[in-house]
Structure 1
Amino acid sequence: MTDMHDTDAHDGDPAFEALAALWDRRLAEAGDALDAHEPSPKVWELISARIDHLQASQPTLTVPSSEGVWEYFAPGVLKKVLHVDADAGWQAYLVKIEPGGGVAPHSHSRLEECFVLEGEFQIGGATVRKGDLHLGFAGHDHGALVSPAGALLYIRGQIDG
């Protein structure tokens, strides 16, 4: 079993570094809620075993809707990560926008796919509705996204970092 603290094998790997930055940020957000002591070797073994199990030669992976945690993303916006492919540098997640909520302008370093499952949102003068696919292209700024009535989005894009 590989020592999870040994990052030498991943030095210079942008996807690994992005995933590590994502977890550093997520853990930092927990603040004092986390014990300052390093988890026991048994905890690392259990985590490693779970990852190995998920990466075993399975032909498919199902993520039940009951799994995952909705996290704060922006005012009136929650995010639930469904899957992360660190090797490829992307993640799949849901975004729930409350009525009047939205996301500030930003850019993407790679293509982002956004499929509207429920509701609608406005961006750049256009309305994107249920069943529509919206693409944010790499290297381009993307205006503010606002949902007057609320929306549920499936997004596949770069790993936050």
Structure 2
Amino acid sequence: MSTRRPAPNDLLLAALAGVLPADAPPPARAEALRARILAAATQSRTKVVRADEGEWVPFVPGIVIKTLRRDPVEGTQTSLWRIAAGARVPSHPHTREEECLVLEGSVIHDGIEYFAGDFLLAPPGERHQPFLAPRGALLMIRSELIPDPGQLPGSAG
């Protein structure tokens, strides 16, 4: 005589059958429960900043920054930097690693021009020479928290 073990789904169905009410809830109640379950199941912890959301804030002459994420606990932030043609990012030090991805245009650093798609990684302790953007650029930068405007050497503030 063979003994078949119930499949896990069979056990779950049997357990649920014992707790389900005999009658279905009224339609309005059923819809409210369905909506709550779907809302909980589809909630995402992913933070989204749409292209048309956020505020571009003047930083130094010719540069505006839109913060995408700021983490004061870790002391880091991710931001977009729009650099007008001819503007420059002043020389500055880093106490933390900095990642920079050129999204549009180009920047020149230490005599080398970097274009859309180029990625730069500066280690902690690095002191950048000025970045020049003769034709303008859009950068995504993940770095330490940036100071308020006017606190960088060479800034107007």
Question: TM-score, normalised to structure 2's length?
Answer: 0.64
> Offset at 1:67?
1.4
For residue 127 of structure 1, what is the amino acid of its counterpart?
E
Partner of 1:88: 74
1:120 correspondence with 2:106: yes
Cα distance between partner residues in 2 of 1:118 and 1:69? 19
> Offset at 1:59?
3.2
Deviation by residue 1:19-45 (Cα, 9 ceiling, x = unmatched): xxxxxxxxxxxxxxxxxxxxxxxxxxx
List 4+ stretches of structure 1 deviating above 4 A. Answer: none
Cα distance between partner residues in 2 of 1:144 and 1:64? 30
Alignment of 1:52-67 (within 5 A): 58-67=44-53
Q: Specify which of 130, 141, 144 is matched with residue 155 of structure 1.
A: 141
- The 3-state SS of whatever aligns with 1:94 is strand
- The 3-state SS of whatever aligns with 2:132 is strand
For residue 132 of structure 1, what is the amino acid of its counterpart?
D
Q: Specify which of 119, 123, 132 is matched with residue 118 of structure 2.
A: 132
Q: Which moved more, 1:61-70 or 1:116-125?
A: 61-70
Partner of 2:88: 102
For residue 156 of structure 1, what is the amino acid of its counterpart?
R
Alignment of 1:1-40 (within 5 A): none
For residue 126 of structure 1, what is the amino acid of its counterpart?
I
Unaligned 5+ runs, structure 1 = 1-56
> Offset at 1:58?
4.5
Q: Which moved more, 1:122-131 or 1:57-66?
A: 57-66
> Offset at 1:63?
1.1
Coordinate RMSD, CA, aligned: 1.4
- The 3-state SS of whatever aligns with 1:60 is coil
Cα distance between partner residues in 1 of 2:49 and 2:56? 14
Cα distance between partner residues in 2 of 1:64 and 1:78? 17
For residue 111 of structure 2, what is the amino acid of its counterpart?
G
Partner of 1:30: none
- The 3-state SS of whatever aligns with 1:119 is strand
Unaligned 5+ runs, structure 2 = 1-42, 148-157
Q: Specify which of 57, 72, 78 is matched with residue 64 of structure 2.
A: 78
Cα distance between partner residues in 1 of 2:109 and 2:146? 21
**Could you say which structure has the higher helix fraction?**
1
Partner of 1:39: none
> Offset at 1:144?
0.5
Q: Percent identity?
A: 38
> Offset at 1:160?
2.1
> Offset at 1:122?
0.2
